[in-house]
Amino acid sequence: MNFLKAACFAAVSALIAVTPVRVVLAQGVDEQMLLHPPLDSWPGYHGDYSGRRHSPLNQITPQNVKNLSLAWAFQTEQLAQIKSSPLLVKGILYFTVPDNIWAVDARSGHQIWHYTYPPNKGLHIGHRGVGMYKGYLFFLSPDAHLVSLNAKDGTVRWEVTVADATKGYWTTMSPLIVGNHVLVGVSGDFDNLSGFIRSIDPETGATQWQWNSTAPPGTPNQSTGGMTWMTGTYDPELNLVYWGTGNPTPVLNGSTRMGDALYTCSIVALNPDSGKLVWAFQPSPHDTHDWDAVETPVLVDGDFHGRRKKMLMQTSRNGYFFVLDRANGKNLLTASYGPVNWALGVDEQGRPIPNPAKEPAPDGRLVAPDEGGLTNYRSPSFDTRNGLFIVDAHPSYSIYFAKPADGTYGWAGADYGVWGKGVIEAIDYQTGKIRWSHELGPESGAGVLTTDSGLTFTGDGHGNFLALDSSDGKTLWHAGSGSRIQSSPITYELDGRQYLLTSSGGVLFAWALPQS
Amino acid sequence: MSFLGSNLHWSVLLAGPLLAGLAVSAAQTTAPAPANTIRSQAYPPELVQSGSALFRQDCSFCHGRDAGGGESGPDLTRSKVVTTDVAGDRIGAVVRSGRPDKGMPRFAYSDQQIASLMAFLHTQQSDALTKKGGRKGVDVSDLQTGNVEAGKQYFDGAGGCATCHSPTGDLAEIASRYQGLELEKQMLYPKHAKAKVTVTLVSGQTITGTLAYLDEFTVGLIDPTAVYRSWRTGDVQYKVDAPVNAHVELFAKYTDADIHNLMAYLQTLRQSPRSGSVP
């Protein structure tokens, strides 16, 4: 890239933007930034509200990506693996592992501040990052508290309890900021608890509304569960927030919760100002395999078989790819994207029909995919250039057991993975057919990012960061990272230079083309 | 990290709690204690409690809060690592090294933390083993629904098992080596089966060995002299011979009845009772 040209462009952009932006950005993130993230920012978990993780940046191209080299690395010096997506606001990256937030200079990778949450007994399985509103960060703790901090120095503004950790709740997700709402979700399927989405006032920490995915525990013949542990997406035109809910409880034994178990394993559309449910679609009715439908609900506007549609797409953990009309939740397409053997077919609403013979049983049932699912929390990407939904898939088989002695509380059974592998799959969203696939080895890899220059960034099951050609999946660049990759890459432009940001183990890596 | 060093600490660290626990047991001999609490009383309740809290924080997601298995992690109440652990030697090693090949991260626990984890896991295991029901897990008796004759037919016929395996050869007495769930998992996919690889260099020389590493950029093998060698995949030609893939191809073909019948048949392949080693 011509540096002078880039510098001039940056300077002109700065001049154009200087008056309106300086006033607002002095405080950090504002509504306009979340609606239209500038190229030098990544202000929310998914970057923008769509969940597409498709960047317009095109300095790194299929032709020059082979020259990509390390700009800097940041070592957390911790064993906890980075599973978060960093935010980038005003040249500063904010990212997390459980109990920890770092603010790091995005130009150099040096630490600005480090916040540590006090020792607590919450579940420390992972952390997906912070949310930001004005100059404030919002961080969920393992013991299900929401902490608001000042982004400039990491000092705590306030802390509120989101859920009772002693009952079995914990929190890991990156809050979604919509208007003046901090939207948070919870985890906790080892106990028969109700999942919920709560809207919290960013200034005071007060609850604005709460939407419960299931009835209160103890309601006869009703399912509990429906945890809300992944960040949703938002359509400002329809003013709807889209969120996935998790599995019902008891998890593997469905005998006490006959029927569909609404709203577990569902994609729900809520009004962010009132918390009212507008529509719901259920990828896994009466789930008995722990297949949360929390995977990113990706929002795409475009052609669907000749008609322009506002669509929502999800590669669900249960092995099916869904395309919905996101104005009303009506199904447009349901197609499996790997080995799936638990459904008898698809019903008239587009939902897979669970085969009772594949419910967990005392002598075991061979089920595809495994409990981790055909994909999981690592982000997919929608490549608008090629019309491809690109996902880190995990073809797999497992055996599921449940017997009366396992009871009807919490897990209520046992399951064992038998075999699996990792594959990046590029799905044609109009047909559900796999256009290309790229083998990753015996394990799942990383999340996916695509760019308008025609690149797909991800990682394999051995810890290699990969750049693939988005048109055919061929490898164009790689770098061994030395650990497993548990996160999704992001990209941004600073000082006219495009950076790719990846992580593996406890290390953050920034990549860029060499400067001439 | 030196595990020898840690082990030395163990004996010192654990002698106290163990002796204290035994003293408690002795003092309570008049009380009608159920058999399943004997081992748990060997550890001070506060040690078990802190182990439980630590387990809940860092381990329970995968292994379940009661250590009986959760998302992706095995049931530790039936784990050989826990059964054969002495004073934290095996638990400590696994926790501090992790199991990167199985996705388990490592944890930098102090000796005191390992001691508490060990106390918790041993307590959970002894409680679980003596419980009559109300617990999850798969018993050998759960896996007896198949038909031996149908299993033998599948083995010799549709399953194609006999192409590679023989009940009097590699599978002779297989059911004496593995039982129950462990046997079934081995049957479905023997995770530790080795693949062979033959690498052809530009010179035309070929090297055949045990496949040790393969990604799309590097191929590594252990050669016949037990030495590790590797090449860039772009510089050589290589051919992997992995008979274990036949197991993967069967997944889409099996019915659950096929699996249960095969299990019934494999469970007949054991040492005769006279030799006395059948559990």
CA distance to partner chain B, nearest, from residue A165 (Å): 11
pLDDT at B3 over 50: no
Q: Check whether residue B166 and residue B200 sit in a common domain.
A: no
**Cα dist from A128 to A137, A476, B231, whole Å:** 14, 28, 37
Q: Does A443 touch chain B (CB under 8 A)?
A: yes
Q: Check whether residue B115 and residue B8 sit in a common domain.
A: yes
Task: Please list the helix, strand and coil fractions of chain A in percent, rounded to the nearest 5, in that order.
Answer: 10, 40, 50
Element (H, E) at A74: strand A69-75
Which residue is listed with tokens 């660049």? Answer: A477
Q: Helical H runs in A131-282?
A: none
Element (H, E) at B263: helix B256-266
Q: Does B238 touch chain A (CB under 8 A)?
A: no
Q: Does B142 touch chain A (CB under 8 A)?
A: yes
Q: Which residues 240-279 in chain A show a CB within 8 A of chain B?
A: none
Say how many CA atoms lie within 13 Å of A15 toward its Cβ.
Answer: 5
Which residue is listed with tokens 């993967």? Answer: B248
In A80-100, which positions are buried (b, 16+ CB within 10 angstroms) versus exposed (e)?
bbbbbbbbbbbebbbbbbbbb
Closest CA to A459 of A415, A494, A424, A434: A424
Count of C-beta atoms within a 10 Å radius of residue B220:
17
Q: Does the beta-carbon distance from B69 to A414 stay under 8 Å?
A: yes
Question: CA-to-CA distance for A410 and A251, rounded, in angstroms?
Answer: 6
Q: Which residues 379-398 in chain A show a CB within 8 A of chain B?
A: 397
Tokens found for residue A358: 């594949």
Which residue is listed with tokens 């593997």? Answer: A252
Q: Check whether residue B270 and residue B145 sit in a common domain.
A: yes
Tens-digit pLDDT profile for residues A213-238: 999 999 988 999 999 999 999 999 99
Q: Is the dihedral of CA B67, B68, B69, B75 positive or negative?
A: positive
Chain B residues in contact with A371 by the CB 8 A cut-off are 71-72
B203 domain-assigned: yes
Torsion of CA A83, A87, A91, A92, to 10 degrees: -60
**Percent share of chain B, pLDDT over 90:** 57
Q: Check whether residue B169 and residue B201 sit in a common domain.
A: no
B135 domain-assigned: no
Q: Does the beta-carbon distance from A411 to B70 stay under 8 Å?
A: yes
Section B111-123 average pLDDT: 92
Q: Out of B62, B65, B216, name the one closest to residue A475 (CB).
A: B216
Q: Check whether residue B7 and residue B92 sit in a common domain.
A: yes
Element (H, E) at A336: strand A331-336
Q: Which residues 397-436 in chain A show a CB within 8 A of chain B?
A: 397, 399, 401-403, 405-407, 410-414, 416-419
ipTM of the modeled complex? 0.91
Q: Check whether residue B151 and residue B271 sit in a common domain.
A: yes
DSSP-assigned letter for residue B119: H
Cβ B182 vs Cβ B189: under 8 Å = no
Q: Which residues 144-173 in chain B show a CB within 8 A of chain A?
A: 144-145
Count of C-beta atoms within a 10 Å radius of residue B180:
20
Q: Which residues 299-338 in chain A show a CB within 8 A of chain B?
A: none
- Residue A27 is predicted with a pLDDT of 59
Position A305 confidence tier, pLDDT thresholds 50, 70, 90: very high
Tokens found for residue A264: 């577990």
- Residue B10 is predicted with a pLDDT of 35
Domain boundary among B110, B130, B150: B130
Q: Does the beta-carbon distance from B254 to A80 stay under 8 Å?
A: no
Which residue is listed with tokens 């070592």? Answer: A75
Cβ B238 vs Cβ B200: under 8 Å = yes
Q: Check whether residue B182 and residue B200 sit in a common domain.
A: no
Question: CA-to-CA distance for A112 and A105, rounded, in angstroms?
Answer: 7
Question: CA-to-CA distance for A17 and A39, rounded, in angstroms?
Answer: 13
CA distance to partner chain B, nearest, from residue A264 (Å): 18
The count of residues in chain A is 516
- Provide the 3-class DSSP secondary structure of residue A107: coil
B151 domain-assigned: yes
Tens-digit pLDDT profile for residues B30-57: 333 333 434 445 899 899 999 999 998 8
Question: CA-to-CA distance for A417 and A87, rounded, in angstroms?
Answer: 34
Q: How many domains does chain A have?
A: 1
A270 - beta bridge partners? Answer: A241, A277
Q: Check whether residue B15 and residue B83 sit in a common domain.
A: yes
- Residue B273 is predicted with a pLDDT of 60
Tens-digit pLDDT profile for residues A346-375: 999 999 999 999 999 999 999 999 999 999
**Cα dist from A114 to A76, A81, A117, A147, B226, whole Å:** 10, 16, 10, 14, 47
Q: Check whether residue B13 and residue B113 sit in a common domain.
A: yes
Cβ A486 vs Cβ A478: under 8 Å = no
Tens-digit pLDDT profile for residues A400-424: 999 998 888 888 998 999 999 999 9
Q: Does the beta-carbon distance from B60 to A414 stay under 8 Å?
A: no
Cβ B216 vs Cβ B232: under 8 Å = no
DSSP-assigned letter for residue B105: P
Cβ A101 vs Cβ A148: under 8 Å = no
Q: Does B254 touch chain A (CB under 8 A)?
A: yes
Cβ A251 vs Cβ A412: under 8 Å = yes
B144 domain-assigned: yes
CATH number (domain holding residue A255): 2.140.10.10
Tokens found for residue A71: 């700009």
Q: Check whether residue B165 and residue B179 sit in a common domain.
A: yes
CA distance to partner chain A, nearest, from residue B136 (Å): 5
Closest CA to A121 of B65, B99, B72: B65
Q: Check whether residue B42 and residue B113 sit in a common domain.
A: yes
CA A136 to chain centre: 21
The count of residues in chain B is 279
Q: How many domains does chain B have?
A: 3
Chain B residues in contact with A418 by the CB 8 A cut-off are 185, 188-189, 251
- Residue A419 is predicted with a pLDDT of 96
Q: Does the beta-carbon distance from A460 to B145 stay under 8 Å?
A: no
Question: CA-to-CA distance for A7 and A516, rounded, in angstroms?
Answer: 13
Q: Does the beta-carbon distance from B143 to A363 stay under 8 Å?
A: yes
- Residue B38 is predicted with a pLDDT of 40
Range of the domain at A241: 3-512
Q: Check whether residue B166 and residue B119 sit in a common domain.
A: no
A267 - beta bridge partners? Answer: A244, A281
Q: At what angle do helices B111-130 and B89-97 cross, to 10 degrees?
A: 120
Chain B residues in contact with A363 by the CB 8 A cut-off are 142-145, 256, 260
Position B68 confidence tier, pLDDT thresholds 50, 70, 90: confident
Q: Which residues 27-46 in chain A show a CB within 8 A of chain B?
A: none
Question: CA-to-CA distance for A293 and A321, rounded, in angstroms?
Answer: 11
B99 domain-assigned: yes
DSSP-assigned letter for residue A66: G
Tens-digit pLDDT profile for residues A429-443: 999 999 999 999 988
Tens-digit pLDDT profile for residues A126-144: 999 999 999 999 999 999 9
Which residue is listed with tokens 């993130």? Answer: A29
Total CB pairs under 8 A between chain A and B: 118
Backbone angles phi, psi at B127, to 5 degrees: -65, -45
Angle (CA) B130-B133-B136 rounded to 5° is: 100
Residue type, B182: E
Say how many CA atoms lie within 13 Å of A177 toward its Cβ.
Answer: 29
Q: Which residues 188-217 in chain A show a CB within 8 A of chain B?
A: 190
Range of the domain at B223: 196-242
